[in-house]
Amino acid sequence: MELVIAVSQIMKFFLPSFFSILFRINGLGAKSRKNTASGLLIFTLLSLVVPLAVTVHWGYEFFKQVSVGFLLAANTAIFLISSDGFLKTCYLHLLQANIVFWVSTVSGALRRMFNISYPLNALLLLAVCAVCYVLAVRYAVRPLRFVVDNVRSGWLTLLAFPSCTLAGGILIALYIGNSPYHDEQMMLLLITLLELSFVLYLTGFYRSMRQIAELERERGRERMLEAELASYDDYLQSARQTRHDLHHHNAVLLEYLNTGNTQQAVAYLESVDAQLAESGQKQFCKNPAANAILRIYDRRAQERNIAFAARMDIPEELALTMPEWGTMLSNLLENAVEACAGLPAAQRCISITARAEACGWKLEMRNGLSGVVKFENGMPLTTKTVGGTGTRSIADTVKKHGGILRFVQNKDVFVTQIVLPIEAVEPIAQGG
């Protein structure tokens, strides 16, 4: 019975940390099976086996005095497990440590307030940790990965906030715990408010980074589009110059033919034809903005050995602005290129067609993909660490202009269909 009580007492420290390690392995990423097994073994020895032996021989009160040292030593195993660099691992583990500390502290305080037995408290803690783990894997992995993968500098500053929050929580627990006016409720309230402010800060920081990343992405697209449009202007100028020079070429050819120099005439024609071919540009449609985007992603597809075909008829009556064309087509084609990048060569293909029909202007894009796409409310769920922004942007543009957006998977082909009214309509107001 004493052993059961001792195990139950140690669970207060072991369970939250153990689920935190599992979150790192299954959510944030681990190096290898060998490293993971070694790290888990070290962690279990230092956070469960050795503390249990100490508790059995010297008592639980003695262990509580040295528990911080055991927990710190046990958590060094994270550096053996983590697939991230040292600073990234420190930052992520400090974020997790704040939640671990809060769960452990709340568990202990509630046990004392309601006089819960150690075995029952351990079972309740196990259930709470399991629920927190599932929620964290579902909702916290992408934001945390996005933050650490997009921070390029200032890691020491970033480490300061979770470190100070954790230190503040520990000081509150120590001060109130050792105070003659020991007040469990006040301790719970202060620590909960501290950790809640930390979570709110982290949420705001993540959202700000997402907005910054999206702005940088849009600026990059705008720069590409501007460069492509400038290239198109150069092409038009070259075409006008070629047309102007046409009568000079005709004069030269006529002179060769009048003097019987047929071979020189043929050679001259071949050189002029090669010059025209070199200065020519692919024309997928007459809309300059749409054609520029299609040319950009045609080159990207070629770089990745993806078959690319596009033919678009865009009537002037469509009310989309140049930035809207750029955003909508870029997001569509970027998703398609990413979906095809990891496929076998025979399945790498993208085709996009658009034409006016009785129902309106209809665009259909088909691209290869692997696996089964999950949908929620008609929208495909992304498998990327952080994604879905491009798809939502497409949906917003289509909705703004009173159109219809549809996604379908047909075996190993993903189909995107957009229908927009041809007659100019008043855009639907966004928000409010």
Structural domain contains residue 106: yes
Shared domain for 118 and 201, answered yes or no, is yes
Interval 248-259 mean pLDDT = 67
- Final residue of a domain: which of 189, 217, 245? 217
Structural domain contains residue 189: yes
Report the sign of the C-alpha dihedral through residues 287, 293, 296, 302, in that order.
negative
Phi, psi of 384 (to 5 degrees): -75, 160
CATH number of the domain residue 310 falls in:
3.30.565.10
Shared domain for 15 and 107, answered yes or no, is yes
Shared domain for 31 and 121, answered yes or no, is yes
Spatial contact of 33 and 39, defined as CB atoms under 8 Å apart? no
Q: Among 171-175, 285-289, 336-340, which stretch is predicted with the lowest mean pLDDT?
A: 285-289
Shared domain for 303 and 209, answered yes or no, is no
The neighbour count for residue 415, using CB atoms within 10 Å, is 13
The pLDDT score that the predictor gives to residue 65 is 82
Percentage of the chain surpassing pLDDT 70?
A: 84
What pLDDT band is residue 425 in, cutting at 50, 70 and 90?
Answer: very low
- Final residue of a domain: which of 192, 217, 242? 217
Q: Which residues have CB under 8 Å from 198's CB, separation 6+?
A: 98, 161, 162, 165
Q: Give me the chain's average pLDDT, please.
A: 83
Q: What is the domain count for the chain? A: 2
Structural domain contains residue 416: yes
DSSP state of 26: I
Structural domain contains residue 130: yes
- Final residue of a domain: which of 175, 197, 217? 217
What pLDDT band is residue 257 in, cutting at 50, 70 and 90?
Answer: confident
Q: Is the pLDDT of residue 88 over 70?
A: yes
Give the domain extent around 134. Answer: 2-217
Q: Sheet harboring 404-410: ordered strands across?
A: 307-312, 349-357, 360-368, 413-420, 404-410
Structural domain contains residue 402: yes
What pLDDT band is residue 26 in, cutting at 50, 70 and 90?
Answer: very high
Structural domain contains residue 425: yes
Shared domain for 291 and 211, answered yes or no, is no
Residue listed under structure tokens 């620590």:
191
Structural domain contains residue 257: no
The pLDDT score that the predictor gives to residue 281 is 55
Structural domain contains residue 251: no
Highest mean pLDDT among 35-49, 62-76, 416-430: 35-49
Its pTM surpasses 0.85: no
Shared domain for 197 and 296, answered yes or no, is no
The pLDDT score that the predictor gives to residue 406 is 92
Q: Which of 328, 342, 336, 349 is nearest to 370 (CA)?
A: 342
Kindly report, residue by residue over 260-319, the tens digit of the pLDDT: 777 777 776 667 666 655 445 567 888 877 888 888 888 889 889 999 999 888 887 777
Shared domain for 39 and 150, answered yes or no, is yes
